[in-house]
Amino acid sequence: MDKVFLFTRPGQQYHFGGFNNFESNVLEECDTHLHSDLLFSALVDTCSSVYPNLTEDLVSEFENGRIKLSSAFWFIEKDNIKICFYPKPVSCELFRTDDHKKFKKVKYVSEGIIKQGITPDLWNVECSLSGTFLCTKSELKKLGFEDMPGLYKTIILPKVKVHTDSVEDRLFQQTNIQVNDLDVPGTSTGFWFFLDTPSNDSPMYKIITPLLRILADSGLGGQRSTGTGKIHAITKSDIDDIEINTGEPVMTLGLLSPGQNDTDDMLYYTLLTRGGKYSGTKQRLMLLNMAAEGSILKRVLEGNIVNLQKSKMKTSLRYGNPLQVNINKKFLPSWS
């Protein structure tokens, strides 16, 4: 099991497209991190270009759960000390606090909050908030920060369609996220995700690293030709003492597509609609509701990889079997 770190640079922009039911303004939707289903699709698509004879084997490894990954969330690093951010547990919305509106906008909480089980009623005392990020003061102190810095901002760019015969709807907007300049020497930011692969001797393990490097060169979160998506460096490290799939309850670190009989084991969750188009056409794919990152489950659930194509002759796969980590029971409301 590895943690993979994708390093960015100040000013770099990314577009992680979200679902929009209107074709004319689809690029206006932009998520603030890379979801696990998009990361899976990017790996498989890159594999089909570089190792076409191994693509079906790679998909099979994901389908049988021998390879699993999480969504890619933010991290900050200074002097080789990293703070990794996780999705805010959905159950945090149910805690009583005098600053509910203040903390409602939080999307990401630091690893220290997850490990120590610091619940919302203690966030004012033990944590520092900046935008959508919440971090313990003790973690920030190790990096030499007094307050949590903002890691990104959202920008909206005017665009013009060039290759079209239609006069209408030529003007549109694209929403990107832009990495902030922290203006602190030795500080880096980027995205990280968990990657669970077979043993080092397996053929699949040997191709994952070059696939990631090719992906970084070609662009992740937008095409390099549009000025987005550049990853400047990739590193991997073994996981620390975060427990993976060893007990209950658990929290999802990616988008989950549960089985029909699994709903009773889902304690607290929010839904995210995923869809899209088949590449090179205007044909819309089927929509799929998935449990978002941060959902709390009674136990580890085996999700599904769903084909969104109505025709069995084509495949458009949505990865819905992400990694799940143990969550401190303090995050369960006392009345649950």
Q: What pLDDT shows up at residue 114?
A: 94
308-313: list long-range contacts, CB under 8 Å, 24+ apart: 308/275, 308/276, 309/278, 309/285, 310/286
Task: Please say which residue of 215, 242, 269 terminates a domain.
Answer: 242
What is the distance between the alpha carbons of residues 150 and 9, in angstroms, rounded to a whole number? 14
| Per-residue model confidence as pLDDT tens digits over 111-137 | 999 999 999 999 999 999 998 999 999
For residues 90 and 103, state if they share a domain.
yes
231 and 286 in a common domain:
no
- Does residue 287 contact residue 309 with C-beta atoms inside 8 Å? no
Domain assignment of residue 281, given as a range: 243-336
Domain boundary among 242, 266, 296: 242
pLDDT > 90: what percent of the chain? 45
Q: Based on the fold, state whether residues 169 and 259 are members of the same structural domain.
A: no
Query: What average pLDDT does this structure show over 45-50?
Result: 90
Same domain? 45 vs 188: yes
Structural element, H or E, at residue 317 = strand 317-320
Considering the domain architecture, whether residues 75 and 222 belong to the same structural domain is answered as: yes
More confident residue, 130 or 240: 130
Q: Is the pLDDT of residue 86 over 80?
A: yes
Q: How confident is the model at residue 200 (pLDDT cuts 50, 70, 90)?
A: low
State how far the Cα of 115 lies from the Cα of 111, in Å rounded to an integer: 6
Q: Judge if 280 and 196 occupy the same domain.
A: no
Asked whether residue 158 falls in the same domain as residue 293, the answer is no
145-181, pLDDT tens digit by residue?
989 999 999 888 777 766 666 666 666 677 888 999 9
So what's the pLDDT on residue 256? 95
Same domain for 171 and 154: yes
What digits encode the pLDDT tens for the residues 206-218? 888 889 888 888 8
- Number of independent structural domains in the chain: 2
User: Is residue 234 classed exposed, middle or buried when 0-12, 13-18 and 19+ CB atoms within 10 A define those classes?
Assistant: middle
